[in-house]
Amino acid sequence: MDYIKIRFGNDFDQFASRLDKTFEQMFRPRPVSPMFTSSERTWSPQMDIYETPEEIIIQAEIAGVDKENLEVEINSKAVRIYGKRSEISLINNATYRLAEIQYGKFERILFLPTPIDTDIVTSSYSNGFLRIRLSKLPVDVTHNIPISYE
């Protein structure tokens, strides 16, 4: 599968995006042995953001998160996705050889490349993926202003 690098905005936005990603990677929780975990774990789901001329689409990989444990908040500039994935019960007398699946609370705040219309938003959750479709606000709309005589 070929991947396409997506850039939004100008060069400054590209620098800010790389800087945000660097900070996120520095503080992202890493998988650790269950022996060394604390009772309050957090994780950060993988997400994609892409856009068409009319909308912005966010896709989040959150397999195993129950709909009741999932919240989405939006404003015209950002989307906040947060929730909790409950840990599955362990098998008695089993020894971990690999433990990479992350459980616990998660939160992602995604800043959008263009303002959106918060009244025109849809979301769906299927096969472990949350998809949010956000309609863009028209930015190139011009209005004629009548000039009155005095």
CA distances from 105 to 71, 87, 109 (A): 11, 11, 14
pLDDT of residue 90 exceeding 50, the answer is: yes
CA 46 to chain centre: 7
d(CA 75, CA 26): 27
What's the whole-model pTM score? 0.66
Domain residue ranges of the chain, discontinuous segments joined by +:
40-86+100-138
Q: What is the CATH number of domain 40-86+100-138?
A: 2.60.40.790
Q: What is the mean pLDDT of the chain?
A: 79
pLDDT digits (tens, 9 = 90+) for 28-79: 555 544 445 555 678 999 999 999 999 999 999 999 999 899 999 998 889 9
d(CA 21, CA 12): 14
* DSSP 8-state assignment for residue 64: T
